[in-house]
Amino acid sequence: MIRQVFMWETSANGFRNVLAHGWHPDVANGRPGPPAETEDDTHAVTTASVSAQFMRVVFDELLYGNGLEEIECRDTTPGGESLFSRVPLGTTPDDIANCAVAADLLPVLCKGPHATCLNAAGVPVGIVDDDEDGAPDNTRMIAGAVTLRCGTFEVPLNREQSFWQPAGNQLVPAGQSAGSSIGPALILAPEGGRLPSKQTDCRLAFAPDVTDKEFIQPCVPTGGEEDTDNYGDCTGGDMSAFHFGTESIVLSGSLPTNNSPAVAVTRRALQMTLSAEFDMTSVSGATATVMEGATARTDFTLTSTIARRVDVTMAANLVANTMYTVTVSNLKDTFGVVLDPIVLQFTTAP
Amino acid sequence: MKTSKILLAVVLGSSGALLGASLSTTDARAQSSTTGAIQGRVTDSSSGSALAGVTIVVSGNSSQTTITEEDGSYRITDLTPGEYLVTFFFGDVTIERRGIKVGVNKTIPLFQKINTSAAVSETIVIDDKPPAIDPTSTTQGITIDQDYTKNIPVPGRTFESTLGAAAGSQNDGVGVSFSGSSSLENQYVVDGVNTTGLKYGTVGSPVINDFIEEIEVITGGYNAEYGRATGGVVNVATLTGGNEFEGKVFAYITPGQLTAARERSPSESISIDATANEDIDANVGFTLTGPIIKDRVWFAVGAAPRYVQNTITRTTKRRRDCQIQLPTGQLSACDPEMYGDGDADINPATGFHIYEDLDSSKLRPNATSLSTLAKINFAVKPEHQGQLSFQISPGHSNNYAVYGLRTTGDYQADSMGLDGGVKWTSKFDDSKSEVEVVLGWHRDQLSGDANNAGARHIPFEILRRGTLGNWGNIMDLNGNYAESDITRAGCLDAPPPPPGMPRLDPYPDIPNCPDVADVGYRVGGFGSILDNTEDRYSAKLAVTRRQKLFGNHEIKAGVDVEDNISDEPRAYTGGVYFENYRTVIRANRFVQIAPQTSTDPKFDARCQYGSENTEYVPCRYIGETGEGSRVQGETLNWSAYLRDSWQIRPNLTVNAGLRYEEQRLRFAEYVRDEKDPLTGRPFGKNAIVMQGMLAPRLGILYDWTREGRSKIYGHWGRFYESIPMDINSRSFAGEATFRQQFAATACNMVPAPDGYGANSGNGCDLQSQAPGTIIGLEGTAVAPGLKPQYLDERIAGVEYELMEDLKLGIAYQNRELGRVIEDVSTDGANTYIIANPGEWSPDEEAKLKAQLDAATDPEEIDRLNNLLTQFRGIRMFDKPSRKYDALQFTVSRRFSKALYMQGSYTYSRTKGNYPGLISYDNGQIDPNISSQYDLIELLGNRQGPLNQDKPHYIKLDGYYKFDLKKAGEITVGTRLRALSGIPRQAQAAHWLYGPGESFLLPRGQIGRTQFETGIDLHLGYAKKLAGNMELEVFTDLFNLVNNQGVAGVDDTYSTSSSNPISGGSYEDLVFAKSNDDNSGTETSSPVTRNPNYGNVNGRYAPRSIQLGARLSF
């Protein structure tokens, strides 16, 4: 059923798209690229990137798109938000085209069991079709069709950027990589590309009406690490064989540079850039310590005004030829997970 | 059996002649593409013993004499097609067998019994016919003679129009295909000379039916004499002079007034609509045959001019916004003020937009042509005969632009077909040995040029995604507006006027004249330069020997050589052509890529590619003239064969043959000294040397009636493809295309040489380093170890003469492609490899690995590694397949008792992923280098019923002659066809390759078009005049009931780029997502839907009536 999962991880090798489940001949060492016969192609992801994340879940058979996506209708909700409509099973492109006509023709053409974009009264309101080709202009993922849960957190998905792509197979098209083309695939884009950090058990789940053409729910078979033809079976809905962990948000850059040996004493603005976005408002509840040698200084302020950056601003110059250790604790990521303390060390010039 | 005089009991005719197990007749095969043979055995009717020394004279077009051998057998060969009188002289007995019809490549079994004890001094005339079944041949097909073309309503003027009579044949849009193959896999032989079109394999010499004596259509089961075809073989024998003067004068006319209007299918229109109707098709001509020196030299001449004119009604149209659906369900009246709602009106019955006509004009393209025939046959002695033949066919056409500027698209074309042949046949050793030599020359020329001299040297540009409103103000090269005032005014998109002011645009809220179907509008120069010449020089030698050894053998050995040469331009007017997408302009030009490390200063340009604008290769732009603007291709073929037709017993024959072929495809001369960009090595002379094409053929036949009235047979054979020459100019002439992309805003052009002012391609700085895409960057490589394309065939069948002249048959035919040659790209269209998709020789891999192991130079190691990776990638491609299985039921009644009938029902399936040398799915004709195997993603969903798959096909042709005695004769002929529809597809574009390349759904998943029927009728009245003169007037009513059935539908589901949905169904298309057209990157946007998807885009021709008269003498 689920044959591969591509996702982004951050590790000592950097930020890269990797094959988190399954195997593919055009993917070496878990990453899209030239095959490497001698390398281990399995790659369990334990440090999935918590920012700029999106996943490509590749299936070996087609799912009903009806349970995954809905299409944009001309009507809007009272709040002005666009109305989207599910597509009844068995709806063909011709049925869709019948519901993409001018308003005066909708009652004539958009009717029957495959009519789409009906309002609460069952009256067709029409599909958004600005280019007048009879196909929907916009689709989005149905809320709750796919759930990504990391521990206790349910990761919200961007429903516009997530989509079901029935096209594709195991062959990599010209000009594309395996991680961005093979299919059929479900492309999952977490809202803002964000995942909770420090998680060890992230899992996917599907709504009951997300099924293949035999009405079997998606599942993850074991096996297939080295041989694409040797996948095991799986029971519909059993997603237990696929899970991953997420990275911790750590210090990725600073001013002065971490462990710098000769920082000017006038460097009062200490900037710490983290590896991923965090909740900037959590700075107010965070604690910071600045150790000047063995002495704690208290004349500083802790702020965060730029994404991913924490600023510690000293009220007075630093002391020459002294080691400083700045520790910021209790910062939280966007899901509220408390980050590991962020530590910056440097030594001032004589 | 019928005789016109006394029928003696001793004369049994042919029916009893085969009785007697000890009889050993000679083999009944006589393989010649222009002549036939008569053979048989003469025996004593009382004792059954053989009669030696019987003199046999065959009289007809020419006369030949032979004497029976010791076993009573005889054989007379090299008889031109026609009717003969065979006279047997033995002592005082003279027996005449009249009306013996000899066909091309056919042997007529004619057995005779003579009562030697009766001293009868009168002539006995026998009018019965020999058996209709050739019990020694496994060939499938049909023979078409002049009676057929005269009395059956044949929808065309040339021999190609008759080929559809054969069971298992069908029109594939390019020609007539046989037995599941594509029509480009046939071979066409005229008077013994191969006239197959060189570049694509089409009909190269369209001889008109009036010049033809007989056409033999072989759809399978042919022996080793035939090769270079994986489809069918068509043998055409033109008229041959005899000892009597004969001729005819004819005139046919198809007036447009009697032709029904073409049926239009509802469709989502565009703003320029074109409807073509035939005005007139007029043919006149004559033929004359006769002796120059009686019994020695004969001639045949003919000439037939033709004039064809059509009228294209060009209509400009706009959408409107003036109707709504009323609550009553009716459409309102058109009132833009009241019902204009901002949405263009749609016809609820069809779902398509409603258009209203703006202006209309009529264009009248026309063509003239002349067909001529000149032929001389001569006999130095009856056993030494020669033939000279020529057909010359010049043509001229005037063509008009429909979708664009007249100054761009109006052009004239001239064509010239020329075929010449010399044939010599000698017989030795009492005709037991025979030598045949044929020399041939086939030439095809085509040239064309814009009518407007100004269009000859400026780039062609196609404007897309605009509206006729945008284009309306384009000035042509003469300074005139492109469109009429009415059109320009009607397409004006004006905003709603202030209150109280008059409306300039009645429908201000909608775009009035959009170019929905992306047809585009053509401006600028003429485009591709057209000036092609093809020549084939051929020579054939065949030696035949008849020998007795455990039965009778006819052993034939032959060799033939063909030198095929093509010379054609590869250039655009102005050296480039533009695709203008309003925001983006693409400039396409042929370039020559510099080999790696080349420092040759002629590579003075820089072809940049890649999104980063950093990658480039030195290159040279190929202009209208100069090096590389013309390409010469050459292919050398030779073959040899040996076959034996061994008649083990009179009713048991084994045909065994072995054919060997070679083909050498050469690089264009101008690149031979250049270095291959991929390998860095000189191209050299030969691009492909195809050797080892061993084609065995085996057939076995058994006649259980022992009278030649039955046969049960089987056949197996292998057939190799002859690669047409398109590949020479496209793959072996260094073709690479540089497609530069410009922002349209950077290409403003005033004044505009192409008539299109703003944002024209002519305004782009073509010498700049704007990046683009190079298609064929690394050139074309040939995979080492490339093997030839072949097809295997198996046939099993039974034929039985149910009653005199009526033959029934049933045959199973299986054809399967064993291997295919196609170009593939394993690196995303940088390098094309001519390969056998799905297979690459392990031996060649080992050789390359050994080279790699031995290499020390890092660059060489990189190069070899690259080659190894690329060649290994060939194995990733699906192996092409095409499997044809057919069950054919045939019924054939030769003309007798005023009735002729020929019919068949074929149940066949043609499945696979490779239709053959024609890509029916996107219309591409590039044999062996089509796009269908270029990229790995294009293979998805290709498996299924191929375009040729029409499971049920019924054909019935026949005519009946009503003898009105002195009042003349009336002929009623008919031609009936009923066939399954064609499989439908759902296709999308490929980001790099364009429309129709991606199979969104599995082939045939959408079903097929409807079952179609058609009937044609011929009515003729003939009246004998003085002497042998006969005048016939006739009419042919084509498509009698005017059923303009569906010949094709629009299979383009989307013009968006998208990959195939493997195993998908129609419902999945709702959720398919597109790829970015410029980068191929997947997007979350649903694919667009072609409003015309599934609409009929091709129909059978409407009812038309041809009137004709023929005076024959």
pLDDT (tens digit per residue) in B780-819: 788 999 999 999 999 999 999 998 889 999 999 999 999 9
Query: Pick from B981, B974, B952, B984: which is nearest to B1045 by CA?
Result: B981
**Does the beta carbon of A258 lie under 8 angstroms from any beta carbon of chain B?**
no
List all residues 6 or more positions away from B792 whose beta carbon is below 8 Å from its beta carbon: B716, B717, B718, B719, B815, B816, B818
Is the Cα dihedral B930, B932, B933, B934 positive or negative? positive
User: What are the tokens at B183?
Assistant: 């029509």
Does residue B394 have a cis bond before it (omega within 30 degrees)? no
Buried b (16+ CB within 10 A) or exposed e, A151-167: bebebebbbebbbbbbb
User: What single string gives the DSSP state of each residue in B1010-1025?
Assistant: PPEEEEEEEEEEEEE-
Name residue B366's beta-bridge partners: B309, B398
Nearest CA-CA distance, residue B1053 and chain A, Å: 10
Yes or no, beta carbons of A134 and B345 under 8 Å apart = no
CB atoms under 10 Å from CB of B286, counted, come to 15
Q: Note the pLDDT of residue B1108.
A: 96
Question: For residues A8 and B373, what is the distance between their CA atoms, to the nearest angstrom?
Answer: 75
Query: Average pLDDT, stretch A93-119?
Result: 90
B 1003-1062 residues inside an 8 A Cβ radius of A: 1053-1054, 1058-1062
| Side chain identity, residue B617 | V
Q: Indicate the length of chain B as a whole number.
A: 1113
Q: Where are the alpha helices (DSSP H) in chain A?
A: 93-98, 106-109
State the pLDDT confidence band at B10, using cuts at 50, 70 and 90: very low
Domain locations in chain A as residue ranges: 2-64+142-206, 69-139, 251-348
| B481 DSSP assignment | B
Answer yes or no: are the C-beta atoms of B454 and B479 closer than 8 Å.
Answer: no
* Span of B31-35, B109-113, B199-203 with lowest mean pLDDT: B31-35
- Confidence (pLDDT) at B144: 93
- How do residues B982-995 score in pLDDT, each as one tens digit? 999 999 999 888 88
Q: Does position B979 have pLDDT exceeding 60, yes or no?
A: yes
- Architecture of the domain spanning A251-348: Sandwich (2.60)
**pLDDT average, residue stretch A165-174:** 87
Whole-number pLDDT of residue B831: 82
Query: Among candidates B1069, B927, B929, B925, which has minimal Cα distance to B985?
Result: B1069
Nearest C-alpha of chain A: how many angstroms from B456?
A: 37
Identify residue B5 by its one-letter amino acid code.
K
Judge whether B994 is closer than 8 Å to chain A, CB to CB.
Answer: no
Tens digit of each residue's pLDDT (9 = 90 or more) over A181-206? 888 999 999 999 999 999 999 999 99
pLDDT at A37 over 80: no
CATH dotted code for B1-132: 2.60.40.1120
Please give, rounded to a whole number of angstroms, the shortest distance from the CA of A118 to a CA of chain B: 17
- Residue A103 DSSP SS3: helix
What is the arithmetic mean of pLDDT over B444-463?
90
CA B1014 from centre of chain: 22
User: Facing residues of A295 across strands?
Assistant: A292
Q: What pLDDT, on the 0 to 100 scale, is given for residue B731?
A: 86
Q: Which residue has the higher pLDDT, B127 or B476?
A: B476
**Residue type at B591 in one-letter notation:** V
3-state secondary structure of A285: helix
Mean pLDDT for chain B overall: 88
> Does the pLDDT value for residue A246 go beyond 80?
yes
Tell me if residue A217 falls in helix, strand or coil. coil
Tell me the pLDDT tens digit for each residue of B875-903.
989 999 999 999 999 999 988 889 999 99
Q: Under an 8 A CB cutoff, do B1064 and A62 touch?
A: yes
Nearest to B425, CA basis, from B482, B358, B380, B372: B380
Interface contact A87-B1066, CB threshold 8 A: no
For B717-752, write each residue's pLDDT tens digit. 999 999 999 999 888 888 888 988 888 888 876 666
Mapped onto helix, strand or coil, the DSSP state of residue B1010 is coil
ipTM at complex level = 0.91
Q: Looking at beta carbons, which residues of chain A come within 8 Å of B341?
A: 102-104
Which run of H or of E encompasses B559? strand B552-569
Q: Do A104 and B1064 touch (CB under 8 A)?
A: no
Strands (E) located in B610-726: 615-621, 630-649, 652-666, 686-702, 710-720
pLDDT of B104 > 80? The answer is no
What phi, psi does B486 have (nearest 5°)? -60, -45
Band of residue B120 on the pLDDT scale cut at 50, 70, 90 = low
Closest Cα to residue B810, out of B716, B893, B904?
Answer: B904
Which residues on neighbouring strands pair with residue A138, listed in sequence order? none
Across the interface, of B344, B1053, B1070, the residue whose CB is closest to A91 is B1070
Give CA–CA dist B758/B744, Å, rounded. Answer: 9
Find which of B1066, B1084, B1085, B1093 to mutate to test the A interface (most A CBs within 10 Å of its CB): B1084
Rounded to whole angstroms, how far apart are CA atoms A9 and A30?
11
Average pLDDT over residues B1106-1112: 96
Helices B842-854/B858-873 angle, 10° precision: 170
Average pLDDT of the segment spanning B1062-1087: 91
Query: Do residues B549 and B430 make contact, with C-beta atoms less than 8 angstroms apart?
Result: no
| Burial letters B170-198, b for 16+ CB under 10 A, else e | bbbbbbbbbbbbbbbbbbbbbbbbbbbbb
Pairing of strands B521-524, B460-463: antiparallel
Looking up tokens 């095929």 gives B564
A contacts of B1066 (beta carbons < 8 Å): 92-93
> According to the model, what pLDDT value does residue B262 have?
85
Are the beta carbons of B992 and A181 separated by less than 8 Å? Answer: no
B689 in Cβ contact with B626 (< 8 Å): no
Residues B1073, A163: C-beta atoms closer than 8 Å: yes
Q: Which of A171-185, B386-400, B519-533 has the highest mean pLDDT?
A: B386-400
Give the pLDDT confidence score for residue A232 in this predicted structure: 63
Mention every residue, 6+ apart, whose C-beta is less than 8 A from residue A47. Answer: A9, A10, A11, A245, A246, A247, A248
Q: Are B467 and B272 spatial neighbours (Cβ–Cβ below 8 Å)?
A: no
**Residue B936: its chain A contacts at CB < 8 A?**
171-174
* Least Cα separation, residue B1005 to chain A (angstroms): 14
Q: Taking CB atoms and an 8 Å limit, are B1068 and A65 in contact across chains?
A: yes
- The mean pLDDT of chain A is 87
Q: Tell me how close the Cα of B314 comes to any Cα of chain A, in angstroms.
A: 25
Strand ranges across the sheet with A300-303: A251-255, A269-274, A309-314, A300-303
Integer angstrom CA distances of residue B636 from B1, B199, B464, B537, B604: 52, 14, 43, 10, 35
Question: Nearest CB to B1080: which of A96, A168, A176?
Answer: A176
User: How far, in Å, CA of B813 to CA of B695, rounded?
Assistant: 18
Q: B263, B1102 in Cβ contact below 8 A?
A: yes
Structure confidence at residue B923 (pLDDT): 86
Length of chain A: 350
- Looking at residue B20, its pLDDT comes to 30
Place of tokens 């001389």: B376
pLDDT at B905 over 90: yes
| Residue A21: how many other CB atoms lie within 10 Å | 26
pLDDT tens per residue across span B262-318: 887 777 777 888 888 899 999 999 999 999 998 889 999 999 999 999 999 999 999
